[in-house]
Amino acid sequence: MTTTVPADATRSARRGVEPAAPAPAASVAPPPKLRRRPVLVVAGVAAICLGALLSLWAYSSTSEAQSVLAVRQTVERGQVISADDLMTVQVGVDPALQVLPSGDLDTVVGMRAALDLSAGNLVTAEQVTDTPIPADGTSVVGVSLSAGTLPVGQVRVGDPVRIVTTAGGADEDPQVVEAEVVDITGDELSGTTILNLQVDFDDAPVVASRAASGDVAVVLDPSQEG
């Protein structure tokens, strides 16, 4: 039997050199397996659900918001409301509140504040009035008062007061007229306060006469509201 020996092996044998072993085939490492952590999976699902809920809440809030009137700057009771005093806002409103829609802006402008309107608050129907001043059967009289003839810093627009005449002698009972404050103006030069007072039509001449001679004082009475 004849055995064929490769030429390279024969030459190596002649030189006394062992033939080189064939190089091993390069091994390819398998791709690493991804390990999923249950906690991270749950957290991801929770984040997705939370985002969906927030989006739904934002959409619901926007779709239910109403355009209503709010107070831009404080308006005291009895003052005439101007367009600069109001603004419109988009808010979700409790149906129990009788807030005025933004479409009533032109109607509210020119009315008077029935209550103090604080900046930032919504305007409700009970806070405004269209009652004219002076009302039917009444007159408005201006009275200039010094610090000793009215409660300093206590009287406000809309307050019920009594006008007390002080011209009578010690033995005479003072004459008293009920009134309502419709405007207040301070005179810094003289230190006096001028009140515009709404009184009954028949009482106006007496009050005006006493006020001209400085023979009146004003007494603040409790508010009848509520």
Within a domain: residue 43?
Answer: no
Q: What is the pTM of this model?
A: 0.53
Residues 6+ apart with CB under 8 A from 49: none
As a whole number, mean pLDDT of residues 63-76 equals 84
Q: Find the CATH number of the domain harbouring 207.
A: 2.40.30
Within a domain: residue 7?
Answer: no
Within a domain: residue 53?
Answer: no
Within a domain: residue 28?
Answer: no
Average pLDDT, the chain: 78
> Are 172 and 213 contained in the same domain?
yes
Domain that holds residue 85: 66-129
> Are 125 and 142 contained in the same domain?
no
> Are 192 and 167 contained in the same domain?
yes
> Are 114 and 178 contained in the same domain?
no
| Predicted confidence band of residue 226 (pLDDT cuts 50, 70, 90) | very low
Within a domain: residue 21?
Answer: no
Cβ-contact 77, 118 below 8 angstroms: no
Within a domain: residue 74?
Answer: yes
> Are 110 and 165 contained in the same domain?
no
Cβ-contact 181, 158 below 8 angstroms: yes
Query: Is 178 buried (19+), middle (13-18) or exposed (0-12) by CB count in 10 A?
Result: middle
| Predicted confidence band of residue 11 (pLDDT cuts 50, 70, 90) | low
Within a domain: residue 54?
Answer: no
Within a domain: residue 8?
Answer: no
| Predicted confidence band of residue 183 (pLDDT cuts 50, 70, 90) | confident
Query: Tell me: the pLDDT tens digits for 130-168?
Result: 887 788 899 999 999 888 888 878 888 888 999 998 776
> Are 99 and 148 contained in the same domain?
no
197 SS3 class: strand
pLDDT above 70 for 64: no
Alpha-carbon separation of residue 3 from 6, 11, 18, 203 (angstroms):
10, 16, 19, 149
Specify the higher pLDDT residue, 108 or 22. Answer: 108
> Are 215 and 151 contained in the same domain?
yes
Q: Find the CATH number of the domain harbouring 71.
A: 3.90.1210.10
- Structural domain count, the chain: 2
> Are 155 and 209 contained in the same domain?
yes
As a whole number, mean pLDDT of residues 10-33 equals 54
